[in-house]
Chains A and B, each alone.
Chain A
Amino acid sequence: MDTTSAKPGIKHQLTIALAGNPNAGKTTLFNSLTGLKQKVANYPGVTVERKQGAWQLNGSAATLIDLPGLYSLDATSMDERIARDVITGQISGVKKPDAIIAVVDATNLERNLYLVTQLFEFGVPVVVALTMIDAFEKQKHEIDIAKFSELLGVPVVAVNAKSGRGRDELSETIHSVLAKQPKIPFELNGASENGGPHGKIFARYNFISDVVQETVKHNDRREHKLSEKIDRVLTHKIFGLLILIGVLLFVFQTIFSWASLPMDLLDQGFGAIGDFVRAEMPPGILTDLVVDGIIAGVGGVLVFLPQILLLFLFISLLEDTGYMARAAFLMDKLMSRVGLHGKAFLPLMSSFACAIPGIMATRTIENRRDRFATILIAPFMSCSARLPVYTLMIAAFFAGKTVLGFVSLAAVLMLSMYALGMLVAVAVAFILKRTILKAPPPPFIMELPPYRVPNFRTVFQNMLTRAWLFVKRAGTVILTISIILWALMYFPRSGQTTAVSEAESVSKQTQTDISSQDIGSKDQSPNTEVQSESDQLKHSFAGTLGHVIEPAIRPLGFDWKVGVALIASFAAREVLVSTLSIIYNVGKDENEQSQTLISAIKDAKTDDGAPAWTPLKALTLMVFFVLAMQCMSTLAIVRRETNSWRWPIFMTVYMTGLAYVAAMLTYQGGTLLGFQ
């Protein structure tokens, strides 16, 4: 047994663990004790989050470990196992705690004390921090803390994280329990034999009931009036659902539209920085790398921040007020028909804006397999980056037509793409839950915490922590892949292109000269620049790769130019549009609404003179985009959230495989049926 005997004069660094139920105010206490000096990572090899911070404890810094919120420590779930390992000092890199602060919610005493009785068994000194005292007192209950502490056998300190009340007392109490061999206040030996397999649980609760009965005077009946009243509306069969839909739409709308202004600003900002750097540095490979590779790559990472910050602002608010649990309560029946957890609704909904914050939001789903199932299907919710692709294809080939005489074909197709994504998601979730992610259905049993006013400091802290985690872990992957893709499209330099391509560009230039003479208004220099951009892309590694995969994508109706665009859009789906612009000599500044690009696509020809694009091929491309894994940022975040490369790779393989098959069926089937 560990004896942390404090040698006189030598201060050694203390490690304190913070344990408690979810919703008990543990995180708020942790934040108030550590301030911003927190570090979040994963425990080695698992997806359980490891959170520690520095707590200034009477002059020296102690390491405060925030254990995952737990109802029990009997080691059935990963969270519980990790918490046990931390307390027994079996996690490498984490010192065995010198003391444990057990956070107990005063408004929920009996259940909160269950965990405390388990903590006694570890032989580590325990101090109880009693939270929610203000709510407790407001409900006119009374507690005799001295007697409570005496009967429990450990010191009890009432704390109010917001006002700082109890913080000093907590520090002093910790010091007083250190290095004293803790007596086990509650003897369990022998109890288990009497009650059968669950004898221990009964014994613990009997002890707890006795203690509470002697020390707490509950004010009957008036307790939960307000929460109950609110719940009558929020979980009402009709209004509850309507309100939930309203809330979800609001969150979604916010991420979709409010985020777009800062995102555009960030985009422009990085563009401006890039221009500035280009102007200041001598032209050459290094400058191009810095501007188009690094700055553009970093910009591509940071552009997600507004969405992530907003989504996590809402998630924190929803969770801390207690509404999230109600949302899961309302949606569970629907979601479980599909094999998902009620809490999967918000992440999937957010994924319609962008899967990256959506996937990060799955962290609210406690069960690992449910969470992974949600992560794996989130990208099927057609995200906003696919819109430019849909818009372009529809505008080029399906504009102006109607179905049944009054519904625009464009709208029908757009809706169909969304529907296709959702249907496939449901089917995949179903299959996953029966095969790789198969497991006995996890308990739904979930607390509905009382409604509370959220602690805004905690909310902001959470928001910033998530955003920073994204930048750090996902950002490095995204930046690396950005640079690789840039290099693929940049090298070899067109100065080294072969005589064939030179002849090609000369003849194209002549054609352009002729056509511009006909029109009489085109200026030569933009054409030349656009032309060389196009040549550069065609003869780069990316272009070569496009040729290499052409045989594979020909059954889908695509040629090598489309292949190049598909490769480039791995950076981000909307890059397809700008890549096609470059390849069809329209210039990289065109977007999906550009008439020039649209005409270029309609007129484009494959190498053997046939039309490169037909309505059927356009449809096939859209189908491919609905299902394919084409976003490096998504892969980066999946890697981060699952703490392994196995899942992102699996995701890429299965999604792209599905996309390939679906696209092939669309094209070949369509051709067989006589469509063009």
Chain B
Amino acid sequence: MQNTSNVIESLSLTNLPIGADARVVSVNGEGRVIRRLLEMGVIPGVSVKVIKTAPFGDPIEVRVRGYSLAMRKNEADSIEVSI
């Protein structure tokens, strides 16, 4: 899905700096992982924030809809956000 504004840059959730407030632009792809992300409330328009990464760099902890969600980086890759 394209973002409509040229000024707002979008990046993947994996690259979102820790602590930055962002909004989900799109969740790209198909399959169980995508479906699960959506069902857990990670859908376009929702605000999201990366809290931390685990000791070995993976998984990451994300704050969304008022709760904490952990996911692997390769799962976070499919989530496009904008700050």
Interface stretch, picked from A109-117, A402-410, A460-468, A546-554, is: A109-117
CB distance from B31 to the nearest CB of A (A): 8
Q: A37 an interface residue at 8 Å Cβ cutoff? A: no
CB distance from B43 to the nearest CB of A (A): 6
Given contacts A74-B39, A448-B70, contact A443 B32 (CB under 8 A): yes
CB distance from A165 to the nearest CB of B (A): 23
CB distance from B18 to the nearest CB of A (A): 12
Of the candidates A205, A218, A332, A440, the one whose C-beta lies within 8 Å of that of B58 is A332
Given contacts A237-B55, A333-B58, contact A108 B40 (CB under 8 A): no
Complex contact A445–B75 (CB within 8 A)? yes
Complex contact A445–B54 (CB within 8 A)? no
Complex contact A111–B38 (CB within 8 A)? no
Q: A442 an interface residue at 8 Å Cβ cutoff? A: yes
- Neighbouring B residues of A201 by C-beta, 8 Å: 35, 38-39, 43
Contact with A along B4-15 (1 / 0, CB 8 A): 000000000000
> Which residues 99-124 of A have a CB within 8 angstroms of B?
107-111, 114
CB distance from B30 to the nearest CB of A (A): 7
Q: A223 an interface residue at 8 Å Cβ cutoff? A: yes
Contact with A along B58-83 (1 / 0, CB 8 A): 11010001111111100100000000
Of the candidates A111, A218, A334, A336, the one whose C-beta lies within 8 Å of that of B41 is A111
Q: Taking CB as reference atom, which chain A residue is nearest B33?
A: A443
A440 to B68, CA, bound (A): 25
A318 to B58, CA, bound (A): 22
Complex contact B55–A448 (CB within 8 A)? no
How many residues on the B side are at the interface (Cβ–Cβ under 8 A)?
33
A448 to B69, CA, bound (A): 6
A449 to B68, CA, bound (A): 7
- Neighbouring A residues of B70 by C-beta, 8 Å: 325, 329, 444-448
Q: A430 an interface residue at 8 Å Cβ cutoff? A: no
Q: Taking CB as reference atom, which chain A residue is nearest B68?
A: A448
Complex contact B35–A76 (CB within 8 A)? yes
A299 to B33, CA, bound (A): 47
Complex contact A235–B36 (CB within 8 A)? no
CB distance from B47 to the nearest CB of A (A): 11
Among the interface residues A223, A333, A447, which one has the most CB atoms of the partner chain B within 10 A? A333
Complex contact A333–B57 (CB within 8 A)? yes
Given contacts A201-B39, A330-B54, A332-B54, contact A444 B72 (CB under 8 A): yes
- Neighbouring A residues of B52 by C-beta, 8 Å: 231, 235
- Neighbouring A residues of B61 by C-beta, 8 Å: 231, 235, 329, 448
Q: B16 an interface residue at 8 Å Cβ cutoff? A: no
Complex contact A333–B69 (CB within 8 A)? no
How many pairs of A and B residues are in contact by the CB < 8 Å rule? 110
Complex contact B41–A445 (CB within 8 A)? no
CB distance from A115 to the nearest CB of B (A): 9
Interface residue tally of chain A, by bracket? 35 or more
- Neighbouring B residues of A481 by C-beta, 8 Å: none
Given contacts A72-B39, A201-B38, contact A223 B59 (CB under 8 A): no
Q: A202 an interface residue at 8 Å Cβ cutoff? A: yes
Complex contact A445–B68 (CB within 8 A)? no
Complex contact A444–B67 (CB within 8 A)? no
Complex contact A447–B68 (CB within 8 A)? yes
Complex contact B66–A445 (CB within 8 A)? no
Q: A522 an interface residue at 8 Å Cβ cutoff? A: no
CB distance from A242 to the nearest CB of B (A): 10
- Neighbouring A residues of B58 by C-beta, 8 Å: 332-333
Complex contact B36–A334 (CB within 8 A)? no
Of the candidates A74, A218, A223, A445, the one whose C-beta lies within 8 Å of that of B40 is A445
Given contacts A114-B41, A329-B61, contact A446 B69 (CB under 8 A): yes
Complex contact B33–A333 (CB within 8 A)? no
Of the candidates B31, B40, B46, B55, the one whose C-beta lies within 8 Å of that of A241 is B55
Given contacts A72-B39, A201-B43, A205-B43, contact A440 B32 (CB under 8 A): yes
Given contacts A202-B43, A444-B75, A446-B69, contact A333 B59 (CB under 8 A): yes
A150 to B57, CA, bound (A): 46
Among the interface residues B37, B39, B52, which one has the most CB atoms of the partner chain A within 10 A? B39
> Which residues 430-454 of A have a CB within 8 angstroms of B?
440, 442-450
Q: A256 an interface residue at 8 Å Cβ cutoff? A: no
Complex contact A71–B66 (CB within 8 A)? no
A241 to B67, CA, bound (A): 23
Given contacts A111-B65, A235-B52, contact A198 B38 (CB under 8 A): yes
A336 to B74, CA, bound (A): 13
Q: A240 an interface residue at 8 Å Cβ cutoff? A: yes
Q: A197 an interface residue at 8 Å Cβ cutoff? A: yes
Given contacts A333-B59, A444-B59, A444-B75, contact A111 B43 (CB under 8 A): no
- Neighbouring B residues of A224 by C-beta, 8 Å: 68
Complex contact B39–A329 (CB within 8 A)? no
- Neighbouring B residues of A228 by C-beta, 8 Å: 51
Of the candidates B32, B35, B56, B67, the one whose C-beta lies within 8 Å of that of A108 is B67
Complex contact A333–B67 (CB within 8 A)? no
Complex contact B66–A108 (CB within 8 A)? yes
- Neighbouring B residues of A74 by C-beta, 8 Å: 35, 39
Complex contact A205–B41 (CB within 8 A)? yes
CB distance from A326 to the nearest CB of B (A): 9
A423 to B75, CA, bound (A): 29
A334 to B51, CA, bound (A): 21
CB distance from B27 to the nearest CB of A (A): 8
- Neighbouring B residues of A111 by C-beta, 8 Å: 40-41, 65, 67
A71 to B61, CA, bound (A): 18
Given contacts A74-B35, A110-B65, A332-B58, contact A445 B43 (CB under 8 A): no
- Of all A-B residue pairs in the complex, the 3 with the closest CB atoms, nearest first, are A333-B56, A448-B68, A72-B39
17 more contacts with CB within 8 A, not counting A72-B39, A108-B65, A445-B71, are: A76-B35, A108-B66, A108-B67, A109-B66, A111-B65, A198-B34, A202-B44, A224-B68, A329-B61, A333-B58, A443-B36, A445-B33, A445-B37, A445-B40, A445-B70, A446-B69, A448-B70
A sample of 6 cross-chain residue pairs with beta-carbon separation below 8 angstroms, ordered by A number, consists of: A109-B66, A198-B34, A238-B55, A330-B54, A336-B72, A445-B70
